[in-house]
Amino acid sequence: MPELPEVETIRRDLSARILGTKITKLELLSPQSVLGNKKEFSTQILGSSFREIDRIGKLLIFVLQKGKYLLIHLKMTGQLIYQTKQELIPGGHEGGEVKELPNKMTRVVFSFSDDGKLYFNDQRRFGYLKIVDAKELAKIKEKFGPEPLQAEFNASFLKKLLRGRRGNIKALLLNQLHIAGLGNIYADEALFRAGIRPMRLAGSLSEVETKKLAQEIKGVIKSAISHRGTTFSDYRDATGKRGGFGVKLQVYGRSKEKCYRCGRAITKVKLAGRGTHFCPYCQK
């Protein structure tokens, strides 16, 4: 599940590799992964290059020429893997962790003028690629709240956000309108770190809890980025490697296992329609 740290890792990896390099070939192996007119999509991409790669929440924004933007959302199983000309040679990469591409999950392939290739893989085809203009992009950006690592995301912002809310805190943390980039893994991890049960009503958090939660959201996201994200199942970085934050997870995916803090069993329930993990002893 690529959330903010995973998408940011890919953004940084790709930014160091493909900016300014001409796209010479585009293969739509699964046309349904491209939203809108496929022919127009190809026309906009071919012969162009990416000037910059931005991100808002979990959405990647590749800046093309002429006020056009390529949006890529990985949803649950999407991957963006780049291979240089050298790595494309069978056996030409060291370590062996880079798999042979394309594979049966490959939906779109970008070829560059330096013979590098970018593969969009997506087992479940929930992810998408879409070209928008500046106006459409501005409208999309309106649908995102501040990101955890932006300065405006602090205790006083969270306090205002939680005031008077009757819904549970977990659902609020997942709502991209309010906070951009948190998904199921980091919402559960941040709540564990803050010692707050996911089903607590958002408006019931004390000032101290709110401050702690704001800090822990920032902390877990920052740490996850520094470990290049979490690979729970499908996530890979732009070089095909797994993220290193999995070993740091305290509750996500640890149902019935012992809490590292108190030794009691981690509980899993369904909340806000999502699998939700917490320690009934450490989280109040």
Partner DNA sequence: CCTTGTGTTCTCCG
Partner DNA sequence: CCGGAGAACACAAG
Catalytically active residues are 2-3, 58, 274
- Biggest alpha carbon–alpha carbon distance for the chain: 59
- Binding-site size, DNA (CB under 7 A): 32
- Considering only 93, 165, 218, 242, the residue that binds DNA (CB under 7 A) is 165
Instruction: Provide, rounded to whole angstroms, the least separation between the CB of residue 150 and DNA.
Output: 17
Q: Which is nearer to DNA, 83 or 283 (CB)?
A: 283
Instruction: Provide, rounded to whole angstroms, the least separation between the CB of residue 20 and DNA.
Output: 27
Q: Which residue has the tokens 């012969």?
A: 47
Q: Is 172 in the site for DNA (CB under 7 A)?
A: yes
- Considering only 59, 61, 217, 279, the residue that binds DNA (CB under 7 A) is 59
**Distance of CA 75 to CAs 66, 87, 170, 243, 251, Å?**
27, 27, 19, 17, 22
How far is Cα 248 from Cα 267, in angstroms, rounded to an integer? 18
Instruction: Provide, rounded to whole angstroms, the least separation between the CB of residue 48 and DNA.
Output: 24
Q: Which is nearer to DNA, 23 or 271 (CB)?
A: 271
Residues of this chain, 200-239, that bind DNA according to CB under 7 A:
202-203
| The 59-63 sheet, strands edge to edge | 52-56, 59-63, 68-73, 128-133
Binding mask 88-127 for DNA (x = CB under 7 A): -----------------------------------xxxx-
Instruction: Provide, rounded to whole angstroms, the least separation between the CB of residue 62 and DNA.
Output: 16
Residues of this chain, 127-156, that bind DNA according to CB under 7 A:
143
Q: Is 166 in the site for DNA (CB under 7 A)?
A: yes
Which residue type does 114 have? Answer: D
Instruction: Provide, rounded to whole angstroms, the least separation between the CB of residue 44 and DNA.
Output: 21
Residue pair 23/49 in contact (Cβ under 8 Å)? The answer is yes
**Distance of CA 38 to CAs 48, 129, 154, Å?**
16, 10, 42
- Considering only 5, 183, 240, 243, the residue that binds DNA (CB under 7 A) is 183
- Considering only 36, 67, 92, 167, the residue that binds DNA (CB under 7 A) is 167
- Considering only 1, 173, 179, 282, the residue that binds DNA (CB under 7 A) is 1
Identify the sign of the CA torsion 123, 125, 131, 135. Answer: negative
Binding mask 7-46 for DNA (x = CB under 7 A): -------------------------x--------------
Residue 206 token pair: 């004390």
Per CB under 7 A, residues contacting DNA are 1, 3, 32, 57-59, 73, 75-76, 123-126, 143, 165-168, 171-172, 174, 176, 183-185, 202-203, 270, 272-275
